[in-house]
Chains A and B, each alone.
Chain A
Amino acid sequence: EVHLVESGGGLVQPGGSLRLSCAASGFTFSSYSMTWVRQAPGKGLEWISYINSGSSAIFYADSVKGRFTISRDNAWNSLYLQMNGLRDEDTAVYYCARGGSGSSWFEFWGQGTLVTVSS
């Protein structure tokens, strides 16, 4: 069974940094693309970053480009999101999602981790 568990969320001051992790199990992690999506409280979904299976293709939404860095460690079955220069508007639940075969890029979702940016 596919299992994705996000961690690393919490309260951080504006301008601060946080590193999110997504622990994967139940499948061959190195074979699938991964994505981060966030959802501000009471708001809609926002795609923020994508990484392919071998880390050779990485994309970011304009809202986080230059501040966030996606990475993965296939040996540790883990996905990461390094978030620097955090702003109030980055407050959200952050989800990781696993791709599937072909053009299926959001097949399975984790339960999310809450990041709160506030002074």
Chain B
Amino acid sequence: QAVVTQEPSLTVSPGGTVTLTCGSSTGAVTSGHYPYWFQQKPGQAPRTLIYDTSNKYSWTPARFSGSLLGGKGALTLSGAQPEDEAEYYCLLSYSGAYVFGTGTKLTVL
């Protein structure tokens, strides 16, 4: 089974910009992996922010965007807010199987 890796932790200043990445042990992440990004706050269920690389839901704040960057999936947060402090998980699709990333704890400080 593939391993999907993320930065264990990142820190961003309020109003700042940060990029979280999502790598695959099988090689470059492509649109064919349909990268997803989820936000999870302590004691809460996950919330899906991005699907299929860059698509947003109605509840996804405009400051979040998804892309492919340097062979990885990427989530960019532009203009970080205190409420963005959370754990972020990516997910990749592998022909009928799905693998979550290891998670990134994002601190807004």
Contacts and interface: CB of A to CB of B under 8 A. Distances in A.
Whether chain B is bound by chain A comes out as: yes
B98 A44 contact: no
Name, among A37, A50, A95, A111, the residue most crowded by chain B CB atoms within 10 Å (CB to CB).
Answer: A37
Contact of B45 (A50, A61, A62, A112): A112
Interface of A: 35, 37, 44-47, 50, 57, 59, 61-62, 95, 100, 102-112
Interface in B76-109: 89, 91, 93, 96-103
The 9 A-B pairs of least Cβ separation, nearest first, read: A47-B98, A45-B100, A103-B52, A109-B45, A59-B96, A44-B103, A104-B51, A103-B34, A106-B48
Contacts of B46: 37, 45, 95, 109
5 contacts: A44-B89, A44-B101, A45-B100, A61-B1, A61-B97
A50 B1 contact: no
Given A59-B97, A62-B1, A109 B52 contact: no
A44 B100 contact: yes
A100 B91 CA distance: 16
A10 to B, nearest CB: 19
Nearest to A47: B98
A112 B48 CA distance: 15
Interface in B24-70: 34, 36, 38, 40, 45-48, 51-52, 55, 57
Name, among A46, A59, A107, A109, the residue most crowded by chain B CB atoms within 10 Å (CB to CB).
Answer: A109
